[in-house]
Amino acid sequence: MKNYIRNFAIIFQILLLGNFAVGQVNSQGIDFFKLDKYIEKSAQAWKIPGLAVAVVSGDSIVFAKGYGVRNINNKEKVDSKTLFAVASNTKSFTSAALSILVKEGKINWNDKVRKYIPYFELYDPYVSNNMTIRDLLCHRSGLETFSGDLLWYETNYTRKEVIERAKFLKPVYGFREHFGYSNIMFLTAGEIIPAVTDTSWDDFVKTHFFVPLEMKKTKLTIDEVLKSDNYAQPHIVTPDGKAIPINYMKWDNVAPAAAINSNVEEMSNWLIMQMNDGKFKGKTILDADMIWEMHSTQTPDASSRISASYFPGKHFDSYGLGWDLFDYNGQIVVNHGGGADGMISQTMFLPDKNIGLVVLTNSINYFPTALMYYVLDDYFGEPTKDWSAFYMSFFERNKKAEIESEKNDELRRNKNSKPSLDFKEYTGTYGGDLYGNAEVILENGKLVVKFIPTPVFVGDLTHFEYDIFKIKLRNSPTLPAGKVNFIMDENGKIIEMKINIPNPDFDFTELEFKKK
């Protein structure tokens, strides 16, 4: 194993770099000078406005630095205390909160969910009655990945209302048969806390984690973030490489799955506790047996042969309780990613080696995952692969495929076709049990779709061909254009509209919009 940090001269140089939070410097096989240059180079290649990175070893932060700017417009610098959305890295806090109740004997991992949340109901009575707390936390409900996320995304539904509407979601797998990532199941898990303790998930997390782990700047709501004096603004990066700030989206109604906003220093405290059997600065925050349970495989996630060829040091993927798991060079890697509008995060640690990483960025990119593999390779003495370039090739390939698809779509369409009816005939209220209603109205002679539960979703329609219109949401720059297909009955009357806005996170096709 390489050992780059072994003499006073190198430690002195680290101190000179500035903006590093350097604690106890251990022998860990990571070349921080090379890491620093790699981050700077890669951030430029990805056009990332700002990011922050921290490395932890044992019980200390040994590297913490900010790069770039919080907001491309005002050029304020990112540092190790800058707040970012950590998004789905929130999930490990929810599983940890429930582990406290398990340790106290108030609940059991295998308790039925309906024991605490009687209104919980899914697609099948057997599944509804037999879903356990453990099932909620390891993505094996039978639902497809991200199914139902449009129920909470910027909607006016409460947490309870989101959970109640989940019964209308259609499964794609058998119960406990397959991995299917579910934010709604984690929301449900979080709501068990107030059912058992009369304390909200929010207050429980603050009291049991933020306070003892000295996470003083960490926030749970966007309103709190916007009042702070050091936060990163989310951005989109246009095809020509221009970064544009966008607004934060409020995720309060899915908080147990994705609400936390933090910085690399305070998230490092979270990892230090995870790596040290639940202890932080001599205090026990979580029980060691509970830590083991959360870091243990609960749901296998099949890895393809092609994927395995890209990662020769990796042999399995699985999910624990709030954590992703895989092996690399014979070591278990506990990790999780997080994606919000205009922000991507990554946490990772090797429990047997007590080394960890936090990466927070303020644009959509694959670099946090690439940096995780770079750090792993550097630690194990194999820093030969440029993981940033590797992931960039996938990113560019996907972008090119999207452009080609749009071009082909345009070439195939019948430009001479016209709508079957006058625009007024397409207007009205459309809806279904799962999501609720949308209204199609005429605005300045053009069709507009308003999604009633999601006020931010206002879509402008332009004719594409026949009774198919293109839709572009005005206030959602991270979502691409899509299509709305109006369906007629045998009498030539509109009876339904089908909406498809293709993107990696939200499935518009599972929403039903029958004309009322």
CATH number, domain containing residue 497: 2.40.128.50
pLDDT at 312 over 90: no
pLDDT at 287 over 50: yes
Say if residue 243 is in the same domain as residue 361: yes
Say if residue 368 is in the same domain as residue 245: yes
**What pLDDT, on a 0 to 100 scale, did the predictor assign at position 451?**
98
d(Cα 32, Cα 55) in Å, to the nearest integer? Answer: 9
**What pLDDT, on a 0 to 100 scale, did the predictor assign at position 303?**
75
Q: For the chain, give the percent of residues with pLDDT over 70.
A: 94
Considering only CA atoms, which of 184, 91, 173 is closest in space to residue 140?
A: 173
pLDDT at 40 over 60: yes
AA letter at 293? E
Say if residue 347 is in the same domain as residue 209: yes
Better-scored residue on pLDDT, 383 or 144: 144
**What pLDDT, on a 0 to 100 scale, did the predictor assign at position 304?**
76
Say if residue 341 is in the same domain as residue 208: yes
Q: In which band, very low, low, confident or very high, does the pLDDT at 384 lie, cut at 50, 70 and 90?
A: confident
Whether 306 is covered by a domain: the verdict is yes
**What pLDDT, on a 0 to 100 scale, did the predictor assign at position 305?**
78
pLDDT at 476 over 80: yes
| pLDDT tens digits, one per residue of 96-108 | 999 999 999 999 9
Which of 380, 411, 445 is at the close of a domain? 380
What's the average model confidence in pLDDT over 335-357?
96
What's the average model confidence in pLDDT over 486-502?
97
Whether 72 is covered by a domain: the verdict is yes
pLDDT at 21 over 80: no
Say if residue 323 is in the same domain as residue 432: no
| pLDDT tens digits, one per residue of 141-172 | 999 999 999 999 999 999 999 999 999 999 99
Say if residue 348 is in the same domain as residue 453: no
Say if residue 373 is in the same domain as residue 435: no
User: Two tokens at 168?
Assistant: 């209308």
**What pLDDT, on a 0 to 100 scale, did the predictor assign at position 27?**
39
Say if residue 353 is in the same domain as residue 502: no
**What pLDDT, on a 0 to 100 scale, did the predictor assign at position 264?**
98
Whether 343 is covered by a domain: the verdict is yes
**What pLDDT, on a 0 to 100 scale, did the predictor assign at position 20?**
45
Which of 359, 380, 401 is at the close of a domain? 380
Which of 351, 380, 409 is at the close of a domain? 380
**What pLDDT, on a 0 to 100 scale, did the predictor assign at position 416?**
94
Beta strands, E only, 342-493: 343-350, 355-361, 428-432, 436-443, 446-451, 458-465, 468-473, 482-488
Structural domain of residue 20, as residue ranges? Answer: 8-90+200-380
Whether 162 is covered by a domain: the verdict is no
What's the average model confidence in pLDDT over 235-256?
93
d(Cα 198, Cα 217) in Å, to the nearest integer? Answer: 25
Say if residue 347 is in the same domain as residue 459: no
**What pLDDT, on a 0 to 100 scale, did the predictor assign at position 435?**
98
Whether 270 is covered by a domain: the verdict is yes
Q: What is the CATH number of the domain that holds 80?
A: 3.40.710.10
**What pLDDT, on a 0 to 100 scale, did the predictor assign at position 62?**
95
Q: In which band, very low, low, confident or very high, does the pLDDT at 173 lie, cut at 50, 70 and 90?
A: very high
Whether 171 is covered by a domain: the verdict is no
Average pLDDT, the chain: 92
* DSSP reduced 3-state for 104: coil
pLDDT at 26 over 60: no
Strand order in the sheet with 343-350: 60-68, 50-57, 355-361, 343-350, 331-340, 324-328, 317-319, 299-300
**What pLDDT, on a 0 to 100 scale, did the predictor assign at position 3?**
34
pTM, two decimals, is 0.92
What's the average model confidence in pLDDT over 351-371?
96
Give the count of domains, the chain. 2
AA letter at 222? I
Helices (H), 245-366: 255-258, 264-275, 288-294, 305-310
What's the average model confidence in pLDDT over 327-343?
95
Say if residue 359 is in the same domain as residue 469: no
pLDDT at 13 over 80: no
238 DSSP 8-state letter: -
Whether 504 is covered by a domain: the verdict is yes
Say if residue 309 is in the same domain as residue 242: yes
pLDDT at 15 over 70: no
Strands 317-319 and 324-328: antiparallel
| pLDDT tens digits, one per residue of 196-221 | 999 999 999 999 999 999 999 999 99
Q: What are phi and psi of 279, to 5 degrees?
A: -105, 145
What's the average model confidence in pLDDT over 432-461?
98
pLDDT at 367 over 80: yes
Q: For the chain, give the percent of residues with pLDDT over 90.
A: 87
Say if residue 372 is in the same domain as residue 435: no
Whether 194 is covered by a domain: the verdict is no
Q: What are phi and psi of 208, to 5 degrees?
A: -90, -20
What's the average model confidence in pLDDT over 232-243?
92
What's the average model confidence in pLDDT over 468-479?
96
What's the average model confidence in pLDDT over 117-136?
98
pLDDT at 231 over 60: yes
